[in-house]
Amino acid sequence: MLTPPAGLGTAAVAEAVAGHWGVQVRRLRFVALGAGSYHWLARSRTGARYFLTVDDLRDKPWLGADPEAAFAGLRAAFDTALALRERALLPFVVAPTPTFGGQTACRLTPLYSLAVFPFVGGQTGHWGDELTKQDRDALADLLASLHLATPAVAARAPRRGVELYGRAMLETALSDLDRPWSSGPFAEPARRELAAKAALVTDLLAAFDNLAVRVSAIGEPLVVTHGEPHPGNIMRTDDMLSLIDWDTVALAPPERDLWMLDDGSPGALARYSDVTGRSVSSDAISFYRLAWTLTDVAAYTGQLRSAHRRSRDAERALTALRKSLEPEPSARPGPFRHRRG
């Protein structure tokens, strides 16, 4: 997120880090990154550095429908990431540092959670960045290793079906396009954008349902997937690539990750199949590409239909909604042709 969360000061964050992790924070700096969590860089009194993530538990529908359920889902996801690091011994998994009590996250307030990560010196990309062939092959190898590690975490990992999170809200919005939206300064522009593409969105929802039936019928074993292995979640260090942001980790078909490698050529996907011995479903690739677009449309519509004020995050949400509604989004060859806001 680009702006700090309302009503949550840095003192409360520092106190939680000290109370739950035993780290006395000397300096805490908010970092404007990403589109789903709030981040700080922390330096302890001993000079150690940490990366802190705060999540708004009202804004994580894939984790749970309310703050209590979302916190439980977040803990399950982070527990899975930690197990991938410590049990499956996957060095590219940047997992949370447990609290004194062994928990991967704590509650800051009824609405916010906190997780502490080791500081990793490196460079992340951005959603929309092109991957070189070398990086695409390296990512295919990482995903193959991740998916093959499923037995180590299958008993604890969350499971994802073919549902579309935010669908009910999106369908409500589609039925409410004939009158102005007044929830904030960007509500009415969002309504106009959605109204102009309402027929397209309706068609995409129908295509989603058709593909969901086909994917459900495939019947292959599920694997542990990251969920969002795009360049913005890839950390490049001197000697390797790492994957960050594990709140979306879940058991699912491998194409939940693999569609992000699909550039229309067989290269990286063939490499993945060679390593894992598993074929890649074109229907599942299409399904997850389309699910990404519709999830974005639903999320940004929901954000702008909710009460909001003028801010950089709200402005970015409107821009991202427009981009998500570009003509023929389902026909894009891959995720690296445009930016996600």
pTM of the predicted model over 0.85: yes
* Residue 283's pLDDT band (cuts 50, 70, 90): very high
Both structure tokens of 79: 């527990």
The predicted pLDDT at position 99 comes to 96
Cα angle: 45, vertex 48, 54; to 5 degrees? 95
Widest CA span of the chain, in angstroms? 59
Dist CA 288 CA 208 (whole Å): 9
Q: In the predicted model, what is the mean pLDDT of the chain?
A: 90
The bridge status of strand 112-118 relative to strand 123-124 is unpaired
Q: Where do the domains of the chain lie? A: 10-119, 133-337
**pLDDT of 334 over the 80 cut:** no
Rounded (10°) CA dihedral 291, 292, 295, 297: -110
Dist CA 222 CA 281 (whole Å): 13
Better-scored residue on pLDDT, 290 or 339: 290
The predicted pLDDT at position 328 comes to 53
**pLDDT of 219 over the 50 cut:** yes
Residue type, 56: D
The predicted pLDDT at position 274 comes to 95
Pick the CATH number of 10-119 from 3.40.50.150, 3.40.50.720, 3.30.200.20, 3.40.50.970: 3.30.200.20
pLDDT tens for 248-262 read 999 999 999 999 988
Buried b (16+ CB within 10 A) or exposed e, 144-166: bbbbbbbebbeeebbebebebbb
Dist CA 291 CA 3 (whole Å): 27
pLDDT tens for 53-100 read 999 998 898 999 899 999 999 999 999 999 999 999 999 999 999 999
Beta bridge pairs of residue 120: none
Q: Does 3.20.20.80 match the CATH number of domain 133-337?
A: no
HEC secondary structure over 74-94:
HHHHHHHHHHHHHCCCCCCEC
pLDDT tens for 96-153 read 999 999 999 999 999 999 999 999 887 877 777 788 888 889 999 999 999 999 999 9
Phi-psi region of 89 (alpha: psi -120 to 50; beta: other; left: phi over 0): left
Cα dihedral sign for 126, 1, 162, 195? Answer: negative
Q: Are 25 and 114 in contact (CB under 8 A)?
A: no
**pLDDT of 339 over the 70 cut:** no
**pLDDT of 335 over the 70 cut:** no
